[in-house]
Amino acid sequence: MKLSQVERSGFRDHFRPVVPMLLLAALAAMALAALFEEDASASGAMADALLFAFARLACGFLNTAASSGSAVSLPLLMLLGMDPHVANATNRVPVLVGAVTAVITFQRAGQVDWKLASKLTPFFMAGSVAGAAVAEILPANDLGPVITGAVLMAFVLLFTKVKSIIDDAEPAEPRVNAVSLLTMLGIGFWAGFIVLDGATYLLLALVLLVRCDFVKATALKALLLVAATIVAFVLFALEGDIHWGPAAYMALGSVAGGYAGVRFAQITTAKAWVYRILVAVIGLELVHLAAKYALEIY
């Protein structure tokens, strides 16, 4: 699909401010490597820092633009050797930072419906508390396969018509009823439990049940994720499950990624590339995870 001169110019204008942030994230990640990886070689620590920062840069972007960032970052942490509990907890830090960045950017654009958010947030947060509690007590041997199953579900979801369903939905006066509130409770549980692709389910609910337009739904999605992730973050932090070194690296990338994702959410011509990248990355992760479990079994 060819872009017109106006579209190409708009694309450049949206992403030009992000370039300095990418450079800043890279420099900060390299500096943090020396602080958090004292027991590793300098080159290895720097490589890990850059990997975490730029992996989360992509994930922060995808979380905001396509609601699938954790489908990349969570299995990545496990593939790098983290215990499933620690990976699940550590992943909440960049998710929270990216969501806060997105909310601030949406608020500056005047796109956050605070009145509607006040009705949905209590139910979403209640579900998140329950989900995070279940994740904390579930044995690591059980949580790992659950995460792998969630990644597989995210991969299958890429081949459904979710995008066309959202695009074809007719925005109307937002409504809040028992069905939408119970749905918020259920999605909140999933967001607290694993969070992986919870943003996608939340976006679908906001568009189809609450009847928000896409931009308002994306802004509300970010705000609700902030509320739910704070709950899970506090619980996991109190239990000592968060690995702060990788969390710091990934949080840096998440700031720039969340900011870029807000810009990108308003551009329709480049979304095909997000889809292709997600299919490739999640597909490779599934192959790697499957091979890992096969080796453990045999």
Under 8 Å between Cβ of 211 and 79: no
Q: What is the pLDDT of residue 73?
A: 74
Q: Which class for 107: exposed (0-12), middle (13-18), buried (19 or more C-beta within 10 A)?
A: middle
Q: Please give the average per-residue pLDDT across 142-158, as a whole number.
A: 78
d(C-alpha 35, C-alpha 48), whole Å? 12
Is 25 a residue whose pLDDT tops 50?
Answer: no
Is 239 a residue whose pLDDT tops 60?
Answer: yes
Is 223 a residue whose pLDDT tops 90?
Answer: yes
Q: Please give the average per-residue pLDDT across 263-285, as a whole number.
A: 62
Better-scored residue on pLDDT, 133 or 69: 133
Question: Which ranges of the chain does DSSP label H, i.e. alpha helix?
Answer: 5-15, 18-36, 42-65, 70-79, 84-90, 92-108, 114-137, 140-157, 162-168, 178-193, 198-208, 214-238, 244-265, 271-297
d(C-alpha 16, C-alpha 33), whole Å? 27
Q: What is the pTM of this model?
A: 0.69
d(C-alpha 120, C-alpha 23), whole Å? 37
Q: Which residue has the tokens 């609910």?
A: 205
Of 243, 219, 217, the C-alpha closest to 90 is 243
Q: Which two tokens stand for residue 199?
A: 């943003």
Percent of the chain at pLDDT exceeding 90: 16
Boundaries of every domain in the chain? 5-297
Is 87 a residue whose pLDDT tops 90?
Answer: no
Better-scored residue on pLDDT, 245 or 115: 115
Q: What is the pLDDT of residue 247?
A: 82
Is 42 a residue whose pLDDT tops 70?
Answer: no
Q: What is the pLDDT of residue 262?
A: 63
Better-scored residue on pLDDT, 286 or 82: 82
Burial annotation 37-72 (CB, 10 A radius, 16+ → b, else e)? beeeeeeebbebbbbbbbbbbbbbbbbbbbbbbbbb
The CA-atom distances, in angstroms, between 6 and each of 12, 136, 269 are: 10, 50, 12
At residue 4 the predicted structure's pLDDT band, cuts being 50, 70 and 90, is low
Most confident of 63-72, 98-107, 131-140, 151-160: 131-140
At residue 123 the predicted structure's pLDDT band, cuts being 50, 70 and 90, is very high
At residue 38 the predicted structure's pLDDT band, cuts being 50, 70 and 90, is very low
Better-scored residue on pLDDT, 279 or 121: 121
d(C-alpha 126, C-alpha 69), whole Å? 23
